[in-house]
Amino acid sequence: MKTDIATFRDEVYSVVEAIPMGKVVTYGDIALLVGRPHHARLVGRIMGEAPAIRRLPCHRVVNSRGRTVPNWHEQRGMLEAEGVSFKTDGCVDMRACRWNFMAEG
């Protein structure tokens, strides 16, 4: 099935808007939530193009290992300000801070 990019983008933005403060999700989590589990890279691309005017909490999206966006040095500080914890390797502590969206139903 072909992906309608405009619809996919809107769905991705809706998920990002719903991420609770102090929690993170992965690009793959978002792809799964919008029904396209194999489209994590497309989620990443859409996140990179998100218009600032939407004021999306894009800082709450990390990769599957908990790594923040390269060259976005403010992201870690924004997450820490919300109480997100990091491991010694610089990655988000995913066990403690990953949004358990399935439990919240």
Question: Distance (Å, rounded) from C-alpha 61 to C-alpha 67?
Answer: 9
Out of 25, 58, 61, 84, pick the active-site residue. 58
- Residue ranges in the chain assigned as alpha helix (H): 5-18, 27-33, 40-48, 74-81, 94-97, 101-104
Whether 97 is a known active-site residue: answer no
Catalytic site positions: 58
